[in-house]
A and B are shown apart, each in its own frame.
Chain A
């Protein structure tokens, strides 16, 4: 069983640029959520995708957007990058059924904005 994989693992961008991060969910999981983790903080929920539709969102501006594809993989796009966007971006997948809420996380993509 393949776990959650994310790419790239590290990247550096400059302020104002755009970035796309990718996530392959665990086999059989149809729900993907994205988190931002600043240094020394716990992860913060950005949004969730279920069957290619965004169906839950945290307190993040519209320049944070995403996609989910028919194979349930997902992308996180961030436009007009700001210095504060520097963080570890985590993707998590879940079966989407049941309510126990166990999420399976990838190792994250570390974004540095200069």
Chain B
């Protein structure tokens, strides 16, 4: 799986939007872009994923650059509960069965939310 680059940390104010960037310049045409987050003392939690088009769900939006070499996770109104480490991960949809469970995590972006 291709590599991703994220800032080590970001800060946000409560109730303001947050844009978390991710660079993946070596992405292949068959890589999905996944985002997970890990709240303190918990396991990672799926947030959103996409391939080419922008995606929205109840938790966040994912904006994918036209060349797919970067993407941005958007939290529309940050809350204190959104303070977590956010991981951007690439997954090849052709991955054989034996690697379905193999997500390659980097160090992610630690998001702090100020009241």
Contacts and interface: CB of A to CB of B under 8 A. Distances in A.
Interface string B66-101: 000000000000000000010100010111011111
Helix, strand, loop or mixed for chain B's interface? loop
Contacts of B101: 31-33, 45, 48, 56, 92, 94, 103
Contact of B100 (A4, A99, A105): A99
B43 A106 contact: yes
Nearest to B48: A102
A94 B93 CA distance: 15
B38 to A, nearest CB: 8
B106 interface: yes
Interface residues of B, number: 27
A90 B36 CA distance: 14
Contacts of A90: 43-44
A104 B44 CA distance: 8
Nearest to B51: A100
Interface in A17-56: 31-33, 40-45, 48, 50, 55-56
B46 A42 contact: no
A103 B94 CA distance: 16
A100 B48 CA distance: 10
Nearest to B95: A99
A16 interface: no
Given A90-B43, A108-B43, A44 B98 contact: no
28 contacts: A4-B43, A31-B101, A32-B101, A33-B102, A41-B107, A42-B87, A42-B106, A45-B103, A48-B98, A48-B102, A50-B97, A55-B97, A55-B98, A56-B97, A90-B43, A90-B44, A99-B91, A99-B93, A99-B95, A100-B93, A101-B32, A101-B95, A102-B34, A103-B46, A107-B42, A107-B43, A108-B42, A108-B43
